Chain A
């Protein structure tokens, strides 16, 4: 990762159209293949993903790479168990012909789902089309088919992720998360710990690059849930006094490259800013005279509303996906704990009884920080410090069902995948180790390293990237 993004990202247009099932192959609704879920855990489904076929100059190489990325995405979810290529019997699959189902059903293959795809690079143009069919092997039917067209084969990886998301959605009923990106703070081992550069990568670690050339002390980037804007903090030299430092809050649009300063000290200090679900407002912590309280700022008019007024530290606000509630950290009790409140500041019925403007939802001996409301609305993730460790956990929004997902020397800064099934976080594996990014499923299974070129902190997972549906 040496390149700095010099130009705003090209707006990549992907046209998508549905492909009609082949004659006589439409599946009755009852035959829809679905991954079995026990409790909240998926029972892995066996899926076969042979290399996509290809047509046109250069298409074969892209088809092989694309198929590989698709398989890696599906395998990384732990929802699927990939059938080993060596076991395949039918090796002359054609996109335009139904597969020989028995070949995929026999013992040793026993694929429940089969993906057959094709990559076409049109002669005389750069247009690339990726088409695929999802077969229900035991139902002997096609369940889903779609094709994507892009103006250039360069970003074939995005198409691999799109196809993986389609398959994931079709077979789980959940939204996908593969065609998304993660922003983080890149740290170089041995450098002053305050130094950190804003960086971005695909969720699988590919295409990592720095976002900005000039800012070397970035903290707490936070992705918009609706688009490609991010909020972040940066320690910058105070223009008025040499040797002094200001903590600024920036709003940065990755696609246009535009950025603006939302706040800077030194008379008050704003930090820990996070978008509302519609991206129009932000909640943040504002420290005035040594006391941090929660404020909501409407971005268009820059009007601010104060939501907490308490001598305690109130910080790390995060909105519920309907925008009506905010979870935050306060040490108004003993040590930092999680509290919820209404976004309009009104009184509410607390889960544990009573009426108040704020309700505590964590009560055990740990110290709870970094709350993030799931985009599905059902869970709040957090970092819990206790028994000499920092863990990532989740809790129901009424304070019930707390579950510790990781057990690390120092795990912190959780962020949800766009479908609310996976949590990425920052892990310091042992005393003095460099921080790295990891991910874990909501269930606590499937703990994985998210590869970054250097050390990394503060992951923030962006929304699914957009595609345009073509007129049919």
Chain B
């Protein structure tokens, strides 16, 4: 029952963040979701004196989802970050710097068009690419852990190029919040 709870939680957070995601980069024409304008890189937001009553609590997981782009996408069999990915990750860096007591788990994912072991390796590389970028921007490695789900935890349950593009990603999951 414990892992069932985990699964539902993770699934819910995926749904919550899916609409804020960057469009998949490859290889099909952008789906409808791609018409949403990119999230512009944001300068670090100063700590608000009073939390906005309507928004999520500052330093919470929901706050991270609202203020940063928490998922970056990869090309087929690739794990390199492009400029758009780095812009997305900059939003994570600024939030993580603003809340230095938080901790992030970077989850690496692959699409279903591959075998299990190889996709675990690929998902691991994607998670590590994000982890190493966050570290290069000053986030200490002791605040980051990684996990690869390979092809076994798809964001999109579809079975076409659009779904596969969305499922090649690394998702930053806040596992220690900064809420008093």
Taking Cβ atoms with an 8 Å cutoff, the residues of A that contact B are 192-196, 215-217, 219-220, 235-238, 241-247, 265-267, 269, 271-272, 285, 287, 289-292, 313, 315-316, 329, 331, 335-336, 367, 369-370, 383, 385, 390, 410, 412-413, 431-432, 457-458
List, in ascending order, chain A residues with CB within 8 A of B173's CB.
243-244
Report the minimal beta-carbon distance from B108 to chain A, rounded to whole angstroms.
Answer: 9
**Which of these, B4, B116, B120, B153, contacts A413 with CB under 8 Å?**
B116
**Which of these, B9, B118, B149, contacts A194 with CB under 8 Å?**
B149
Sample 19 A-B pairs with CB under 8 A, ordered by A number.
Answer: A194-B153, A216-B4, A217-B3, A217-B7, A219-B152, A237-B6, A238-B175, A243-B6, A265-B146, A266-B147, A285-B117, A287-B124, A290-B128, A292-B124, A336-B118, A369-B118, A390-B115, A413-B115, A457-B116
Determine if B162 is an interface residue (Cβ-Cβ < 8 Å). no
List, in ascending order, chain A residues with CB within 8 A of B174's CB.
243
**Which of these, A237, A265, A285, A315, contacts B2 with CB under 8 Å?**
A237
Are B118 and A315 touching (Cβ within 8 A)?
Answer: yes
List, in ascending order, chain A residues with CB within 8 A of B154's CB.
193
- New contact pairs (15) apart from A195-B3, A238-B145, A241-B105, CB-CB < 8 Å: A193-B152, A193-B157, A216-B7, A217-B152, A244-B147, A265-B145, A265-B146, A269-B120, A271-B117, A287-B121, A290-B124, A292-B121, A369-B115, A412-B116, A457-B116
Tell me the complex Cα distance, A15–B180, Å.
Answer: 69
A412 in contact with B145 given A285-B121, A290-B132, A292-B121 (CB within 8 Å)? no
List the 10 closest pairs (A to B, CB-CB), nearest first.
Answer: A290-B128, A266-B145, A369-B115, A432-B159, A313-B121, A241-B175, A244-B175, A272-B117, A194-B153, A287-B124
Tell me the complex Cα distance, A215–B3, Å.
Answer: 8
A383 in contact with B6 given A269-B124, A292-B124 (CB within 8 Å)? no
Report the minimal beta-carbon distance from B172 to chain A, rounded to whole angstroms.
Answer: 12
List, in ascending order, chain A residues with CB within 8 A of B9's CB.
243
Report the minimal beta-carbon distance from A271 to chain B, rounded to whole angstroms.
Answer: 5
Tell me the complex Cα distance, A292–B128, Å.
Answer: 11
Are B3 and A383 touching (Cβ within 8 A)?
Answer: no
Determine if B94 is an interface residue (Cβ-Cβ < 8 Å). no
List, in ascending order, chain A residues with CB within 8 A of B103's CB.
241
List, in ascending order, chain B residues with CB within 8 A of A336's CB.
118
A269 in contact with B11 given A243-B105, A245-B105 (CB within 8 Å)? no
Are B147 and A269 touching (Cβ within 8 A)?
Answer: yes
A220 in contact with B105 given A192-B153, A243-B173, A269-B148 (CB within 8 Å)? no
Taking Cβ atoms with an 8 Å cutoff, the residues of B that contact A are 2-4, 6-7, 9-11, 61, 77, 79, 103, 105, 107, 112-118, 120-122, 124-125, 127-129, 131-132, 145-150, 152-154, 157, 159-160, 173-176
**Which of chain B's residues has its CB closest to A234's CB?**
B3
**Which of chain A's residues has its CB closest to B157's CB?**
A193
Tell me the complex Cα distance, A220–B79, Å.
Answer: 23
Are B7 and A313 touching (Cβ within 8 A)?
Answer: no
**Which of chain A's residues has its CB closest to B158's CB?**
A432
Tell me the complex Cα distance, A432–B112, Å.
Answer: 10
Tell me the complex Cα distance, A232–B61, Å.
Answer: 32
A369 in contact with B114 given A235-B149, A265-B147 (CB within 8 Å)? yes
Report the minimal beta-carbon distance from A183 to chain B, rounded to whole angstroms.
Answer: 15
**Which of chain A's residues has its CB closest to B5's CB?**
A237
Tell me the complex Cα distance, A369–B119, Å.
Answer: 10
List, in ascending order, chain A residues with CB within 8 A of B129's CB.
290
Tell me the complex Cα distance, A450–B11, Å.
Answer: 32
**Which of these, B3, B117, B131, B132, contacts A315 with CB under 8 Å?**
B117
Are B117 and A243 touching (Cβ within 8 A)?
Answer: no
Tell me the complex Cα distance, A136–B124, Å.
Answer: 59
List, in ascending order, chain B residues with CB within 8 A of A285's CB.
117, 120-121
Tell me the complex Cα distance, A269–B145, Å.
Answer: 11
**Which of these, B105, B118, B150, B153, contacts A329 with CB under 8 Å?**
B118
Are A242 and B114 touching (Cβ within 8 A)?
Answer: no
List, in ascending order, chain B residues with CB within 8 A of A245's CB.
6, 105, 107, 147, 149
Tell me the complex Cα distance, A385–B105, Å.
Answer: 31
List, in ascending order, chain A residues with CB within 8 A of B145's CB.
238, 241, 244, 265-267
A192 in contact with B11 given A243-B105, A244-B147, A432-B159 (CB within 8 Å)? yes
Tell me the complex Cα distance, A30–B114, Å.
Answer: 52
Report the minimal beta-carbon distance from B113 to chain A, rounded to whole angstroms.
Answer: 7
Are B117 and A369 touching (Cβ within 8 A)?
Answer: yes
Report the minimal beta-carbon distance from B29 to chain A, rounded to whole angstroms.
Answer: 19
